[in-house]
Structure formats: C-alpha cells, structure tokens
Structure 1
Amino acid sequence: MNYTLNQLQIFLKIVQTQSVTKASEELHLTQPAVSIQLKNFQDQFDIPLTEVVGRKIYITDFGREIAEAAENIINQVHAINYKTHAYKGQLSGRLKISVVSTGKYVMPFFLADFMNQHQAIELVMDVTNKHKVIESLEQNQVDFALVSILPTTLHVEKLDLLQNKLFLVGNAQAKVPARTKADEIFKELPLIFREKGSGTRQTMESFLESNHISVQKKMELTSNEAVKQAVLAGLGYSIMPLIGIRNELHSHQLQIIPIKGLPIITTWSLIWLKGKKHSPVSAAFLHHLEEEKDNIAHDTFRWYEQY
C-alpha cells in the first residue's frame, strides 16, 4: 500500500458527494485530476471501492469502510496540526459554519478580523439554501449557521448581526406607474422565485399570501445570482435582499420598485443548537462577535442606511 493523504481526501470527498464532478468542484481541482487520483487509489486494492452504472458512480460496501477509515486518518492529521499550533500558544482548530446563499455577502465581513488574528484556524464555510443549512445544524455537523429566518423545528440560541431588507426589484428599463398595486405589476411580467427550501422564497411567499396577491406568471431559479441576472435581462421582477444588489443599484442597472408593505425586514442571525458545548475556537469566535459585531455592522454596512 502506497496511498497518499491527498488520495484519501479525494476519495472521501467522492464518497460524500457521490460524484466525481461535485468532488472536483468542492476540492477546486479538475475532473480529470480527481479521476486519475481515484484510479490510482483504487488500483491499490483487490476489492472494488466503486462501481459505475450508466454514468453514475456508486460506492461499494468495502469502499464505505475504507472511506470511514480515511476520515479517521484525516482527522488524526488535523489533530496533529492543531496540537503543534497549541504547543506554540496559538488558537487552532476548525471553525465550521453553514450559511444561507445570500449570507455570503454578510458572513465574510464578520469573519475577517478574527481569522486574521488567528491564522492557525481552519475555516470551513458551506454556502447553500436554508433547508440544507438547518439540516447541517440539526445533525450537529457545524458550529454555527447564518440565517435570516429562525427555524421553528429546532431549539437554538442566536446572536443578531445585521438587518436584512428585501425590496421588489426590476431592471433599469422597467417602468411602473406610481401607486401601482402589487397584484397589477405581476399581470404582465413574471415574478422570479428562488427554489423551494430558500429563505428568500419563504419570505416572498409570506408577503404574497398576507397581501392576497395572486401571481399569474412565475419563474424559479436556483441561486440568488441567477435571479439577479434574470432581473437584469428584463425577464421579470423579484423580491430580493438589498445586501446582494448594492453594485447594481449604484450603477443604475437595477431599481427598487416602491410597493406598499416593502421592504420586508428580517434579521441576519448567527445561530447554534441550544446547549451546544463550544470548542475553544467556536467559543472564541462567539466572544469576538459579541464584542465587535456592532462596529463591523457600522463600518462595513453603513451604506444600508440610505435605503
């Protein structure tokens, strides 16, 4: 046996994602590079680790046992690195955070100073939709989650970081007469939704339901960036978080459509399972945010106040 740590990491990621393509994306490697390393790793075993049926890869029972062993080895390597840093008096370990997709415009600014102060810390931040964020929190796979709508099915504690404002948005060419009722806007152009499981979609649907608005035409896209590009192209309107459209508003590519009942205001909150025992790293990060969150919000998001 002459497998490498790199091969173990690649194989484990393939098992976790059930896909060579997805594994290559998450590892920031080319697909051929991942395929070559997988083949080199498999060639060292007499029993198959994977099976390919059609175009889909399946992990054998033996492969799953090897993946479990690989994960243990990788964790031990991390532990050695952390002990080395600790011996030097440095705060070290992993900080794992799951962030709803629009939160990618928020969370990095609340992380930057802390990560710069403690460079031995390894950050793992997953950006996905609300459903998957809550799932990872429920399974205790992460230290914290960033959401704009609190889960109703979990007992959590929270630290509020920033307001989240959502406006009806159209492109620069959109012409909506003043005092046009919301239900009239959507008779001609579709309303563009995020996918099911998205917090933004949940907020939109609550607004439509409470205002008795029936949407005759709708589109569904799977990322905030895709929604923004569709609005820019004139395909319709969407109710979007202000945090993700700052540049387009300043360059007059997008415009806010005044509608009664908007903006919708929620709060970006860092949440964690109630009663969770924080690691030294996550406890230090929480303490940092409690001390600095107001300064970060004021210094970085001052532009928010004009809307």
Structure 2
Amino acid sequence: MRKSLMRMTFRQLQIFRAVCESRSYSRAAEEMALTQPAVSLQIRQLEELIDQPLFDYVAKKLYLTPAAEVLLKASEDVFGRLESLDMQLSDLQGSLQGQLNLAVESSAKYLVPHLFAAFRAQHPEVSLQLVVVNHAMAVKRLSASRDDLLIMSQVPSELALDFFPFFNNPIVAVAPPTHPLCSVERLRLSDLSDFPLLVREPGSGTRKACEEYCHQKRAHFAQLIEIGSSESQVEAVIAGLGLALLPRHAVRLELAAGLLRELPVEELPLLRSWCVVHNRGKRLSPVAQAFLDFIRVERLQISALGERFAAAPTAA
C-alpha cells in the first residue's frame, strides 16, 4: 500500500463525499460548517496524497474524475464498515443502535413511517434516514448502492437484486364526487378514456404500471395532464381537472372524507406488491438486517397495517 494513503483522514473523506454529493465546494462548505477555502485545501491535500486530480470543471459544472469515482466507492466501504462496527458494538451491549438508510418510491411514503414505527417499537434506539424518490431515481440509487435497503413496486430485472414482496399496493380510479361517472354502478376501464387522466412524471413507477395495464386493456386516454407529485395529483382530482389512477392507501383520507370517490371499474384494482430490495451480495448492516428480518417475520403486524391502508372505502 502507498504510504501516502495512510495519511488520509476520515475528515478529508467526509469533506470529499460532501463535495461529490453536492457537486459544489460552496454547498459542501455549508454542509460541513466550513469555509470554502478550507474545503478547497482539504481536497487539494487529498489530490496530493493520491497523486491524481479528483474533479474537473466543465462549463462551470463540477465532474468527478475516474480517481474520484474510485475514491468515493472506497470511502463508502470505509464508512459502511465503521457504521457496522458501531452497530455491532451496540449489539454487544445488549441493544441495537444505529441508523437505517432507507429509500422508498414515492407511492410508499405514506406506509413506510408506520412500518418503521412498528420496527422502532422493538428497537427504540434505531434512527431513520428516509429518501423519497420516483422509480427512475430508485433504479439509479440501486445501481450505485446508495442505501441500505429500498422499497419499490417494480423490481428491475436487469440488476442483480435480492427482493422480498411484503405488502399489496392496490391502484384504483378516483374522481371528484360530482363527476358524472360517480353515478354509474358498473364501469369498464375504457369508459374512463373520454375524460382527462392526471398522471405523474415519466419516471414514476405508478405511471409506468398504469400505462402498461391500460395498454393491455386497450383503454387509450385522449388527454393526459402531467402532475409532478402525488399530493398535487390528488388536489387536481378534487379540483375537477380529471380522473386519476392512484394507490388506494394514498387517497384513503380523501375517500373517507368524501372528497374523492373510488370508481367501480371492473378491471380494478390493479394489484402490485411493494418489495424490500437490496443488491445481491451486499453486506447489510445489523440495523438493515434487523429491519429486513422484521418485515419477513412480523407478518401479522404488517397484515394489520395493510388492512388500514388498503381496505376499500365503505359505501355511504
């Protein structure tokens, strides 16, 4: 091993990781509570230690060099091992401690806090770092192994992944209560196609699943209105801008309050499963392994949670 690498410090690696994450010296300085010259100095010292440049500036944008990519991967391994050591030491003391780094697709963000709360009741000293992403971003994070675990519906087949389906995610058609289709007792999916359909951005997993399903059922909507978030999508339906295909749990409060109505479409709900996913062969931290074991073992708790989130609304 090069002797110069032994002079590398954890603080330098933390600063380096902050620059990689933000792609900015100034934003990394704010995050690390340092001045920008201090960040520049630490990066320059790192470059001297590895004898290669770490960043390139092109059109005022910061890009990682091949050396930076390698160093970033090594730093993730180093800090991952330290985190695992911390958790193992805590485990030896009789309690599980540490942080679960969890990424979830946006359609699961309503469920996961309740799921983690049930897990934390067993392990009160575990904290959570939660990142909410769309499907396309989730796949990128899996490719880069950014998180301990990830919860998603459509598991990409092109990656080497281990996954465990644990929770049903029914997608239903919703409309404002004054919509003319609300007076119809029985509908086909194609009956909805004359009305505007509110959809998420192209990277959304729910949109992808619904588009594939509608194509399969030959329901072709003449007008699509793209909405950037599920919350805005719900409000747009309430406002009367169109219909939407949404996870039932995501609109459970609006259905219960009478702000929305679930349409009686014969081909719905579209049933998918949420899965907890990680890269095959990935060394899981004790906290991540405990959370995965909890999902696999606590079927009764999760089923009870599922009844609250996925139950069809009672007719008024």
TM-score range, shorter chain: 0.7 to 0.9
Judged with a 3 Å threshold, the aligned counterparts in structure 2 of structure 1 residues 257 and 51 are, in CA distance, closer, same or farther, namely: same
Shift, 1:120, TM fit: 4.0
The 3-state SS of whatever aligns with 1:245 is helix
Relative to the length of structure 2, the TM-score reads 0.74
Contact 2:18 2:31 survives alignment (8 Å): no
Contact 1:195 1:221 survives alignment (8 Å): yes
Contact 1:161 1:297 survives alignment (8 Å): no
The 3-state SS of whatever aligns with 2:277 is strand
Superposed CA RMSD in Å reads 3.9
CA offsets 1:187-206 (integer angstroms, 9 cap, x no match): 2x321111122110111101
Partner residue in 1 for 2:129? 124
CA offsets 1:214-258 (integer angstroms, 9 cap, x no match): 221111122211211221221111100001111111111111122
Shift, 1:131, TM fit: 1.8
Structure 1, gaps ≥5 residues long: 25-31
Partner residue in 1 for 2:193? 186
The 3-state SS of whatever aligns with 1:16 is helix
Q: Are 2:174 and 1:153 equivalent residues in the alignment?
A: no
Partner residue in 1 for 2:144? 139
The 3-state SS of whatever aligns with 2:154 is coil
Partner residue in 2 for 1:27? none
Distance 2:306 2:189 in 1: 32
Contact 1:192 1:227 survives alignment (8 Å): yes
Shift, 1:33, TM fit: 5.9
Contact 2:198 2:244 survives alignment (8 Å): yes
Shift, 1:74, TM fit: 6.6
Distance 2:242 2:144 in 1: 38
Partner residue in 1 for 2:96? 91
Partner residue in 2 for 1:113? 118
Partner residue in 2 for 1:163? 168
Partner residue in 2 for 1:15? 20
Q: Are 2:240 and 1:240 equivalent residues in the alignment?
A: no
Relative to the length of structure 1, the TM-score reads 0.76
The 3-state SS of whatever aligns with 1:265 is strand
Partner residue in 2 for 1:196? 202
Amino acid at match of 2:228: T
Amino acid at match of 2:311: E
- The worse-fitting range, judged by mean Cα deviation, of 77-86 and 136-145 is 77-86
Contact 1:10 1:38 survives alignment (8 Å): no
Shift, 1:123, TM fit: 2.7
- The worse-fitting range, judged by mean Cα deviation, of 241-250 and 112-121 is 112-121
Shift, 1:288, TM fit: 1.9
Shift, 1:301, TM fit: 3.2
Shift, 1:265, TM fit: 0.9
Shift, 1:79, TM fit: 6.8
Contact 1:85 1:120 survives alignment (8 Å): no
Contact 2:101 2:129 survives alignment (8 Å): yes
Judged with a 3 Å threshold, the aligned counterparts in structure 2 of structure 1 residues 248 and 14 are, in CA distance, closer, same or farther, namely: farther
CA offsets 1:37-59 (integer angstroms, 9 cap, x no match): 453644766969999999x6536
Amino acid at match of 1:39: Q
* Alignment match of 1:229 (pick from 232, 235, 254): 235
Structure 2, gaps ≥5 residues long: 1-9, 46-53
Contact 1:20 1:35 survives alignment (8 Å): no
Percentage of pairs with the same residue: 26
Judged with a 3 Å threshold, the aligned counterparts in structure 2 of structure 1 residues 10 and 105 are, in CA distance, closer, same or farther, namely: farther
